[in-house]
Amino acid sequence: MSAPDKHYKNTTDKCLHLINITKNTTDKCLLLTNVTKNTTDKCLHLINIITNITDKCVHLTNITRDTTDKCLHLIKVSKNTTDKCLRLTNITKNTTDKCLHLINITKNTTDKCLHLIHITKGTTDKYLHLIDITNNTNDKCLHLIHITKSTTDKCLHLIKDTKNTNDKCLHLINISKNTTDKCLHLIKDTKNTNDKCLHLINITKNTTDKCLHLINITRYTTNKCLHLINITKNTTDKCLHVINITNNTTNNYLHMINITNNLLTNVCT
């Protein structure tokens, strides 16, 4: 495992840190590692556990030490060596599991998108529910909808709120009513009617916000990829910096890199 990002200086950081640590020039996947030092960390911990040098998928696992962990548990369970998709499954040991369950259900060999469906059996589930609701055979985007019925839900809620019938992108909005909410808040704030990309922005009112701030900054009308950048005003920035840097036209994976020291302009707010 490579060392954490050398630019990172804050030891009390409570956010998720992601960095590409691969040394393999043919690697097309994202490698993630948690570098937090705070034992009370309540966030998602991700670490790359890949051991197969030919593996091109992301491996995620929860490494939190808190036995009451209520966060998302992800792990790759695919056995197919030619598999290019991300497989996720809940690995919690708690029979009353309240976490997100994801599974790849695609049968189309040419499918390049992630398919998610909620498979939890727990009626008291208070976490994010995802399901693919697309009916368009040429749709290349991810469709998510919130289906929880629990009024005490304190997690991130996603809902498609577009009114545009030809809109093919993901719309996210936080609908939590809990004032002590410490989760990521996302909302679509684009004003461009033909925009095909995902727009995310933190709308929390807590001045000590330690969550991820994301916003789409692409200016290219033909760009179909997700562009993320940290827009926090805190000079001691504790959040994730992500940007798509691929130049390979046949590349279908997301590339992420920490660009915290790179001066960026023309931020779309």
Residue 81 in domain: yes
Q: Give every CB contact of residue 221 below 8 A, 6+ residues apart in sequence.
A: 194
Question: CA-to-CA distance for 181 and 210, rounded, in angstroms?
Answer: 12
**pTM for this entry:** 0.20
- Confidence class for position 35, pLDDT limits 50, 70, 90: very low
Residue 157 in domain: no
Mean confidence (pLDDT) of the chain: 34
Our separate counts of H helices and E strands in the chain read 0, 0
For residues 139 and 169, the answer to whether their CB atoms sit within 8 Å is no
Residue 76 in domain: yes
If one counts the domains in the chain, the total is 1
Residue 86 in domain: yes
- Single out the residue of 136, 126, 133 nearest to residue 157, CA to CA: 126
Question: CA-to-CA distance for 188 and 173, rounded, in angstroms?
Answer: 7
Residue 174 in domain: no
- Confidence class for position 73, pLDDT limits 50, 70, 90: very low
Which domain does 61 fall in, by range?
A: 1-94
pLDDT of residue 96: 38
Residue 42 in domain: yes
For residue 221, give both structure tokens.
């009308």
Which of 140-144, 190-194, 262-266 is predicted least confidently? 262-266
Residue 84 in domain: yes
pLDDT of residue 219: 34
- Single out the residue of 32, 130, 133 nearest to residue 90, CA to CA: 130
Tens-digit pLDDT profile for residues 147-188: 333 333 333 333 333 343 333 333 333 333 333 333 333 333
Question: CA-to-CA distance for 138 and 155, rounded, in angstroms?
Answer: 31
For residues 168 and 139, the answer to whether their CB atoms sit within 8 Å is yes
User: CA end-to-end span of the chain, whole Å?
Assistant: 36
Residue 130 in domain: no
Q: Which residues make beta-bridge pairs with 15? A: none
